[in-house]
Amino acid sequence: MFKIDPTTNRINPLEAKRFTDLGFSERKHLQEWLENYPQALAQGDGEELLIIQKEFDGFDDTRERLDLLAIDKDGNLVIIENKLDDTGRDVVWQALKYAGYCANLSKSQVVDIYQRYLNQKAQESGEPAASAADNLVEFLEVDGLEAAQINRIKTQRLIFVAARYRKEVTNTVLWLSQFGIACQCFKVTPYQAGAELFLNVEQIIPTPESTEFMIGMVAKESEEKSADTEEKHRHTLRLAFWEQALEAFSQSACSLYNNISPAKDHWLSAGSGLRSMPYNLIFGKTEVRVEFSMQRSEAEVNAFVFEQLLAEKEVIQETFGAELVWLPLPNKKACRIQYSKPVDGYDKANWPEIIQWMIVHMTKLELALRDHLKSINQGLKQASLPAIEAANG
């Protein structure tokens, strides 16, 4: 790793260090860093990790502790093992034991494990504990906890983190990968430049070039498995609802969804004129929503657009005709503005009323935001990302 000196137009090498030489330990430092920023290990496009436990020892008939337990966007449990400067010889065996323990966890047990983690965090901070169920529904982007597919059979993932990997470890990981066990190895290296310290996190197994191929193989196997009956029912129901909704929208004054096809998801998106910032219709079992979502990969741009709209909150809400829910979501990349209604969405007798509600309120939302978004879009075209970051403070 090199540091760029723009004054001299030269690069200067940074000094690679050992964690122990810098006084860093596995539990107090590396583990804490990854717990508070798990995205360091989520380097794939669109990948996110949510930490749900730390030093978990709640397995039956054993007091062994796994370092970090996370869940990914597909509801798969992720076992994270940290070994600082050297992996040692037994790290793969340890992780496999933990994966075996975790494979038996039911959805309700996973929720309970996460809730205990949130309760401990709340106790440490003195703030009220968040709801594990609500957090998981939000993170997994599903229509209620009952719709979430969590810790399905043969979906557990292993992530290893260390500065140096022994050959017997990397060979075993590569061999396990051939049998569909999702394993990743991250090499972490601390660097020092004077008083400044840096950390490089690099995925070495599988290599970034082969990751897409391996994911494709796993996805193919998953597609060949028979789908759960309940999930099939939800997909069929949503598809039927969106077909009716889109037909009604096509006959209304709202043209946002004129070129949109029905889908099996619980949301339907339409363009707003701003890249990766769609209008969404949300169809759930107990709630329907209209919303504007700011979901670019650059969190700073999302925050900038949200703040620009928030400054016009009174005008926007007056035009809309009701108070909107404004969600900056500081711990996530996306921001949202939404309006909802409680319903019995899976009762088809309610669909005409629900669809009419969606048409009326999506029309109002587009009208309330349209001119503001045009102005913001012009500003985005003229502003650079550093300028946006500076504007966000």
Q: Quick one: DSSP state of residue 258? A: T
Instruction: Check which CATH number belongs to the domain holding 188 and give it.
Output: 3.40.1350.10
Q: How far apart are CA 173 and CA 92, in angstroms?
A: 7
In a shared domain, residues 206 and 233: no
In a shared domain, residues 198 and 246: no
Residues of the chain with pLDDT under 70: 45, 60-62, 208-228, 383-393
CB atoms within 10 A of CB 13: 10
Specify whether the CB–CB gap between 298 and 386 falls below 8 A. Answer: no
In a shared domain, residues 168 and 30: yes
In a shared domain, residues 267 and 189: no
Domain presence at residue 120: no
Domain count, the chain: 2
CA angle, 242 as apex, 354 and 224 as ends, to 5°? 135
Residue 355: domain span: 229-391
Q: What is the pLDDT of residue 226?
A: 47
Q: What is the pLDDT of residue 392?
A: 54
SS3 track for 23-64: CCCHHHHHHHHHHHCHHHHCCCCCCCEEEEEEEECCCCCCCC
Q: Looking at the chain, how many residues does it have? A: 393
The separation between the first and the last C-alpha atoms of the chain, rounded to the nearest angstrom, is 29
Q: What is the pLDDT of residue 384?
A: 60
In a shared domain, residues 6 and 82: yes
Specify whether the CB–CB gap between 148 and 136 falls below 8 A. Answer: yes
Which is nearest to 50 in space by CA: 143, 121, 170, 138?
138
Give the Å distances, CA to CA, from 334 to 24, 306, 326: 33, 10, 12
Which is nearest to 89 in space by CA: 199, 164, 10, 175?
164
Instruction: Check which CATH number belongs to the domain holding 358 and give it.
Output: 3.30.1460
In a shared domain, residues 240 and 300: yes
Interval 305-316: pLDDT, tens:
999 999 999 999
Provide Rg for the chain, Cα atoms: 24
Amino acid at 243: E
Final residue before a domain boundary, out of 197, 224, 251: 224
Domain presence at residue 262: yes
